[in-house]
Amino acid sequence: MFFRTGELQYYAKPDAPDPVFAKKVQELIGGQYGEMSVAMQYLFQGWSTRGNEKYKYLLMDTGTEELGHIEMLATMVARLLEGAPVHEQEKAASDPIVGAIMGGMNPQHAIVHGLGASPKDSNGVPWNAGYIVASGNLLADFRANVNAESQGRLQVARLYSMTDDKGVKDLFSFLLARDTMHQNQWLAAIKELEAKEGPIVPGTLPPEWEATEFSHTLYTNSESSKELKWINGPAPDGHEFKISKPEPFSVKPELKPAPPQSHNSLSEDNLK
């Protein structure tokens, strides 16, 4: 059961309209690493968590916060679109001058969404549930969460540098801070889980499943690999790293001819 209040978590008011920048902000809403992705990722991870209540509620609370971030960004987009010259949209198709001016604006903001945000990225591509990771393995999922927050924070930082609007920067400053917290919390949770389960996912496999003679060797022809300081020490799981040039462990594969009904190209033997 979710509860919503009318207040935003933080201010979302630009100093001036900017329909072109509104299009860019859409990436933070419906892009692969936007707020829709992290909100759904955390909520579905939480709904699937079994027997780890502290992690379940960490996921659910953070996912709920991310829903609020969607609302803040949607509000920012709507306000950036206030005062946008909507009547010029139809002219853009026939007037090259107007088209050049309006070229950076997303026409769907005016035509389809009534000067509002949409669940799409900055290119107008609809948000896709395939963006999210919810595997049921908390260590694997928390690592995916660090990646999502890292990419999201990177994109906010890039957009921060693309505007001089103090109101927009104010909201972005808050989002950068929350992304810092979320990266920290997932990293801390990962450290706690690794202490119990080990660093390799999944850590519950029977030993006979894995060809362990290949588990800790870096295969490379690059001399630069020797500059990797960690390669000469223990791996995170406690075993020693090794370095070796790549070599075949098998023989050249030979496939049987395809049956006639496949109508494949004839082999060289068949052409003789």
pLDDT tens digit sequence for 42-81: 999 999 999 999 999 999 999 999 999 999 999 999 999 9
Type of residue found at 188: A
Please say whether the beta carbons of 197 and 143 come within 8 A.
Answer: no
- Residue 66 assigned ligand-binding role: yes
Question: Of the ranges 40-44, 127-131, 194-198, 261-265, which one carries the lowest mean pLDDT score?
Answer: 261-265
Q: Read off the pTM.
A: 0.87
Confidence of residue 98 (pLDDT cuts 50, 70, 90): very low
**What are the E-state strand segments in 43-178?**
none
**pLDDT above 70 covers what percent of the chain?**
90
The CB-side HSE value for 145 (13 A sphere, CA atoms) comes to 34
- Rounded (10°) CA dihedral 160, 163, 168, 174: 10
Question: CA 157 to CA 110: how far, in whole Å?
Answer: 27
**pLDDT above 90 covers what percent of the chain?**
70
pLDDT tens digit sequence for 139-170: 999 999 999 999 999 999 999 999 999 999 99
19-197 is a CATH 3.90.850.10 domain: no
Region class of 17: left (phi > 0), else alpha (psi between -120 and 50), else beta: beta
Environment class of 174 (CB within 10 Å of its CB; exposed 0-12, middle 13-18, buried 19+): middle
Please say whether the beta carbons of 139 and 194 come within 8 A.
Answer: yes
Question: CA 118 to CA 227: how far, in whole Å?
Answer: 47
Radius of gyration for the chain, computed over Cα atoms and rounded to the nearest angstrom = 26
Domain ranges for the chain, please list them.
Answer: 19-197, 205-263
Which fold, 205-263?
A: manganese catalase, domain 2, chain A (3.30.1530)
Peptide bond into 207 cis (omega under 30): no
Q: Which residue has the higher pLDDT, 107 or 215?
A: 215
Question: CA 155 to CA 36: how far, in whole Å?
Answer: 14
Structure tokens given for 189:
């949770």
- Residue 213 assigned ligand-binding role: no
Q: Which helix (DSSP H) or strand (DSSP E) does residue 244 occupy?
A: strand 242-244
- Annotate 48-69 with b (16+ C-beta within 10 A) or e (fewer): ebeeeeebbebbbebbbbbbbb
Question: CA 167 to CA 171: how far, in whole Å?
Answer: 7
- Residue 35 assigned ligand-binding role: yes
- Residue 109 assigned ligand-binding role: no
Question: CA 172 to CA 180: how far, in whole Å?
Answer: 12
Amino acid 97: pLDDT: 45
Q: Is the pLDDT of residue 19 over 80?
A: yes
Mean pLDDT over each residue of the chain, to the nearest integer: 90
- Rounded (10°) CA dihedral 63, 65, 69, 75: 120
- Residue 149 assigned ligand-binding role: yes
pLDDT tens digit sequence for 119-142: 999 999 999 999 999 999 999 999
Structure tokens given for 124:
């107008």
Amino acid 24: pLDDT: 96
